[in-house]
């Protein structure tokens, strides 16, 4: 007797193609059996495109979250009950988890939420160095974080803190006074990066001891461009990538950046007692790098997901005036944009079209961040 697992592979693939874009449906489909999992691989690959998480603020302090897909220019609601209210903040990630922070009388409540399934995990309240009532906004604007099976690491912009699963407190990581603009956890190590100096500090996630410091490469920049440079660290299991470029200017400008370089280092050098060193490379190959104010990460570019090879997708936002407001005074807010930098010709193209260009968030708003879809979630314990 033929069972569900005996269906022909082409029929399984045809059914998977009709599931649409909901990852929860695909996860249930893949969990039936191994043939269904392999038969839906192509459809799953088409959905492996990062989504832009956009926090929308309003003057009545209510907050809604949207996700925007660069693949189909579609906006979807992102319900996050753990981050309700006007003093709440959300920070996406490349592994599907979202860090939500809610400011209250008892401090800053932190929760991990897996957006695609609704699973959540409560974290200890953030340390007092993330800011009190007076400095809370500034500190959270500079927050960076990451998660791995070893635990969660967060930074308020200087120094970093680490919390293992089940622990009830945060432990200091690295030098408390060191500037940190992005944190990445990978293979038992924590990478603390400073975009301004391009220095990367590697910390052992088990002992929380600094194991290496990677100094910035020689960039040979003209003096007038030194303040216009932006750097990002991409951490992969077998390599580190440093991307240095001129800052992307107004979202409708094309032809930028003037300066663009990529460097590679081998993180395995640390196990041999050496500090990794940078060597310049031509580009990033058949990959796309997604960049926001939190981090940069790699995604395979293939014929299924339609991502551009050897390109960098940069999410940014800028202050703007609501010209359509009818009450006789200017309303300032935030608009969101995505630019694609092509490493082959060092030019950028704006993806700010359709649904994305219509978004306008009153007030200061919060920066957007990339959220990477996944078929399933990883337990924190």
For residue range 172-231, what is the model confidence (pLDDT) as tens digits? 997 888 899 999 999 899 999 999 889 999 999 989 999 999 999 988 766 656 667 889
What whole-number distance in Å separates Cα of residue 94 and Cα of residue 92?
A: 7
Report CA torsion sign: 48, 366, 333, 226: negative
Residue 132, pLDDT score: 52
Residue 313, pLDDT score: 93
Are 278 and 265 spatial neighbours (Cβ–Cβ below 8 Å)? yes
Residue 379, pLDDT score: 47
Q: Under DSSP, is residue 319 helix (H, G, I), strand (E, B) or coil?
A: strand
Residue 112, pLDDT score: 92
| DSSP per-residue codes, 272-312 | GT-----EEES---SEEEEE-SS-EEEEE--TTT-PPTTEE
Residue 380, pLDDT score: 47
Residue with tokens 């009153």, as numbered in its chain: 362
Q: Under DSSP, is residue 246 helix (H, G, I), strand (E, B) or coil?
A: strand
What whole-number distance in Å separates Cα of residue 130 and Cα of residue 315?
A: 24
Residue 58, pLDDT score: 52
What whole-number distance in Å separates Cα of residue 158 and Cα of residue 40?
A: 44
Interstrand relation of 240-246 and 260-265 (parallel, antiparallel or unpaired): antiparallel
Residue 91, pLDDT score: 94
Residue 228, pLDDT score: 73
Residue 61, pLDDT score: 46
This prediction has a pTM of 0.85
The helix (H) or strand (E) run that includes residue 159 is none
What whole-number distance in Å separates Cα of residue 345 and Cα of residue 120?
A: 43
Residue 220, pLDDT score: 74
Residue 345, pLDDT score: 86
Residue 179, pLDDT score: 92
Residue with tokens 């033929």, as numbered in its chain: 2
Domain definitions of the chain by residue range: 1-47, 48-371
Give the CATH fold of the 48-371 domain. Answer: Neuraminidase (2.120.10)
Residue 102, pLDDT score: 86
Residue stretches of the chain with pLDDT short of 50: 59-61, 134-135, 377-381
Residue 377, pLDDT score: 47
């Amino acid at each position: 007797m033929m069972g569900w697992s005996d269906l022909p592979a082409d029929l399984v693939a045809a059914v998977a193609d009709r599931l649409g874009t909901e990852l929860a449906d695909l996860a249930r489909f893949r969990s039936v059996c191994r043939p269904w999992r392999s038969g839906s691989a192509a459809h799953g690959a088409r959905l492996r495109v990062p989504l832009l998480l956009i926090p929308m603020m309003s003057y009545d302090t209510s907050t809604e979250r949207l996700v925007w897909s660069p693949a189909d220019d579609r906006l979807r609601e992102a319900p996050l009950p753990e981050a309700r209210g006007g003093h709440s903040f959300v920070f996406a990630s490349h592994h599907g988890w979202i860090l939500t922070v809610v400011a209250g009388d008892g401090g800053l409540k932190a929760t991990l939420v897996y957006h695609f399934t609704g699973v959540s995990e409560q974290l200890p309240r953030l340390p007092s160095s993330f800011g009190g009532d007076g400095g809370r906004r500034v500190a959270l604007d500079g927050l960076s974080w990451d998660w791995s099976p070893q635990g969660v690491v967060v930074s308020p912009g200087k120094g970093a803190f680490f919390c293992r699963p089940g622990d009830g407190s945060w432990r200091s990581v690295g030098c408390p006074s060191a500037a940190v603009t992005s944190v990445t956890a990978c293979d038992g190590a924590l990478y603390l990066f400073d975009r301004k100096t391009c220095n990367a500090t590697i910390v052992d996630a088990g002992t929380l001891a600094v194991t290496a410091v990677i100094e910035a490469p020689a960039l040979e920049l003209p003096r007038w461009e030194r303040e216009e440079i932006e750097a990002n660290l991409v951490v992969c299991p077998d390599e580190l990538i440093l991307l240095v470029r001129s800052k992307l200017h107004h979202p409708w400008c094309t032809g930028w950046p003037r300066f663009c370089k990529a460097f590679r280092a081998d993180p395995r050098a640390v196990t041999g007692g050496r500090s990794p060193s940078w060597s310049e490379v031509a580009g990033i190959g058949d990959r796309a790098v997604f960049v926001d104010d939190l981090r940069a990460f790699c995604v395979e570019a293939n014929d299924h997901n339609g991502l551009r090879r050897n390109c960098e997708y940069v999410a940014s936002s800028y202050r703007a005036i609501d010209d359509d407001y009818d009450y006789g005074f200017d309303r300032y807010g935030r608009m969101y944009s995505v630019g694609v930098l092509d490493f082959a010709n060092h030019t950028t193209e704006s993806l700010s079209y359709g649904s994305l260009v219509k978004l306008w968030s009153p007030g200061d708003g919060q920066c957007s961040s990339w959220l990477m879809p996944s078929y399933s979630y990883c337990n924190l314990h």
